[in-house]
Every structure is written in structure tokens, then in C-alpha cells.
Amino acid sequence: MRRFQTNHIPDDARGAAVAIGNFDGVHLGHQDLIDMARAQATKTNAPLGILTFEPHPRSFFAAKFNKELPPFRLMSAEARAHRLEKLGVDLILELPFNQDLCDLSDWEFSRQILSKAFGLSHVVVGADFCFGKGRLGTAASLSAHASNLGFDVTIADLKNHDAQVISSTNIRNALAAANPRRAAAMLGHWHRLEGPVEHGEKRGRQLGYPTANMSIDGLQPPAFGVYAVLIDVLTGTHAGSYHGAASIGVRPMFGKNRPNCETFIFDFRGNLYGETVSVGLVEYLRGEEEFGGLEALITQMDADCIRAHKILDSL
């Protein structure tokens, strides 16, 4: 897979069939778009691509108008790229989202970016797709522009789950409501937190529960609390898949702290500092609590791990 963070690509990357969107979470609706683009790519022997935007447009406009924006992304650009690679995407076109891009009308975006810069052969968008200055362009206007510019367009219907549209917003709501299984039903995979393992205060080691600590800065945190989790160590000598329990939150027993994810990996011995790990949330066990002392905390952690073992062994 090749990843381009520019609007200039080599000749051998042109002519792709692409799906366009933010792809935050790479949920089942996104996967439908990718599958439609894949069908066109296979038919014409073209590369399969994704056209997305970085930074996320919401972040750009918040910064432009000096608005405080709570973290909302489900995944980083790097985690998104890893997920798209698993789906067999050949090209990721991460178009820099800046003022120049915002000022392009929907026609100019179609002409300058889709046709001229990337030379796309086929574009797949959702029925609710909006683009161009003032978001005045629609899926229908894109199709009209494409007929004049020499590429084809497929417009995909929105996908539902339990009579609710599958969207990044509804997935965020499920995670905020401590329902990772509902989020997974819309994602088509466990919601994952991915990043490098950082040094912490090593308090877990002193309690008999050494943890792999990960920052969640920039991501919308799920409901704070303890989860049964599936862990993939993606780099290093310990690369592999494991079971565990993770605490996500601010650790109220130990003062005021930035939210993070601390994962205890069952039956694991080794050093993971600096390695990239992916933590999949399977089931919410309980909320964050303050205990009367460390002994009570350890007793609860013992119970959490027993429960997590049972849940994960049943998958």
C-alpha cells in the first residue's frame, strides 16, 4: 500500500478507482464504499484507492475560528491507514485540508483535484456526500461534473444497523454510552485504540499489575472505566495477539491526570516501551472508582481480570 499526503502523485498512481470520505473508524458504511470502488478497480484493472482529508475538516474549521473542540476522532491517521491496508486498499490519498482547498467550488474541486491532480477513473461517494466551498456540492452534482470530466461516479445508499444510520457520530455515541459491542456492530470490528507504549509512573507494576500505557490525546475517549480487551502488539519481538484488561480514564485515586489507556496483558512478560500496540474494546466491566486503599483496589483488579478472562475466552 502507498500513502500520499499531497495532491501530486506519480503517473503509476493515477487512474485509480477511489472512495471519498473521512473514514473515521472505517465502519461498515465506509467498507461498502470501498467494496464498490474495489469492484470498479477490478473491472478496469485500476488501483483501489481512498481519498480522504488531513487534518479532519472539523479540526481545521475549529482552529480557523478559534473554537475549542473536544477530541472527537475515533482513530488517528496512522491507525486509519493500518485498517485500510487490511482491507486491501492500494492507495491512500490524504489531501491536505487547508484554506485553498476550502475555497474551491465543487466544480473546481472536481476539475482540479479529482480529474487533473489525481486523474481518477471512478469515484464512489455516499448519498449524503457534500463538498466544495460552502459544502454546496452534492453527490448528484459530482455525478454531473464527472460526466463532463471523463470519470464515473457511483452513489451508495446509507447503511443502517437496528434502524439507525451507521455513522461515525453514532459510533461515538455508543462508545460514550459504554457500549463497545454496539459500536463494534456498526464498525464491523472491535473499536481499537492504537499507539506507542509510553513510560508511566510504573504504579501498576508495584501493585502486581504492570500495564502498557498509551496516550489517547486527540481521540474521543470512550466511557471511562475498565474493559475486557483484545491486544495486538504490532511491532517488536513480542508482536502477536493477547487478551487483557484495560483501564481508560484519569485514575482518580492518584490525583488529577490526563486521560490515557493502561492495559494489563494476561500471561505476558516483556518490555513493550516504544512498540506500537492496538487495544480492542470488547466489553465494559465497570466505571472508574476511588477505593479506600490499595488493598481494596487490588481486590477489585483481581475480580476485573477474572471476569475479563471469562468474557474473552468465550469469544
With 70 as the cut, is the pLDDT of residue 227 above it?
A: yes
Mean pLDDT of 102-119: 97
Task: Let me know: does 80 contact 168? Beta carbons within 8 Å.
Answer: no
Decide if 88 is inside a domain.
yes
Domain endpoint, select from 109, 140, 161: 161
Of residues 247 and 208, more confidence is placed in 247
CATH number at residue 258: 2.40.30.30
Same domain, 137 and 198: no
Q: What are phi and psi of 112, to 5 degrees?
A: -75, -40
Taking residues 46-72, report their average pLDDT.
92
Is there a single domain that holds both residue 32 and residue 123? yes
Same domain membership, residue 201 and residue 115 = no
pTM for the whole structure: 0.93
Is 262 tagged catalytic?
yes
User: Does one domain contain both 145 and 247?
Assistant: no
Q: Which of 161, 182, 201 is the last residue of a domain?
A: 161
Q: Is the pLDDT of residue 256 over 90?
A: no
Domain match, 149 and 6 both: yes
Q: Is residue 183 part of a domain?
A: no
In a domain, 181, yes or no: no
| Percent of the chain topping pLDDT 70 | 97
Quick one: 149 and 58 in the same domain?
yes
Q: Is residue 75 part of a domain?
A: yes
Residue 170 maps to a domain: no
The tally of domains found in the chain comes to: 2
| Rounded alpha-carbon distances, angstroms, from residue 220 to 11, 25, 49, 224, 301 | 38, 11, 27, 11, 25
Percent of the chain with pLDDT over 90: 86
Asked whether residue 196 falls in the same domain as residue 288, the answer is yes
Non-local CB neighbours of 15 within 8 Å, separated by 6+ positions: 46, 47, 119, 120, 121
Does one domain contain both 221 and 155?
no
Residue 173 included in any domain: no
Domain that holds residue 15: 2-161
94, 194, 262, 283: the catalytic one is 262
Report the 3 state secondary structure along 44-106.
HCCCEEEEEEECCHHHHHHHHCCCCCCCCECCCHHHHHHHHHHCCCCEEEEEECCHHHHCCCH
Task: Work out the average pLDDT over 182-205.
Answer: 90
**Does residue 208 carry a pLDDT above 90?**
no
The residues with which 52 forms a beta bridge, in sequence order, are 94
Mean pLDDT over residues 135-148, rounded? 97
Sequence length of the chain is 315
- In terms of domains, do 256 and 150 share one? no
Does any domain span residue 255? yes
Domain boundary among 142, 161, 180: 161
Determine the pLDDT at residue 50: 98
273 and 149 part of one domain: no
Higher pLDDT, 101 or 203: 101
- 3-state class (DSSP) for residue 279: strand
**Is position 184 within any domain?**
no
Which CATH number fits the domain that encloses residue 66?
A: 3.40.50.620
Q: Mark whether 220 and 133 lie in a shared domain.
A: no
Of 119-123, 294-298, 300-304, 307-311, least confident by mean pLDDT is 294-298
My answer on whether 126 and 230 are in the same domain is no
Three-class DSSP category at 269: coil
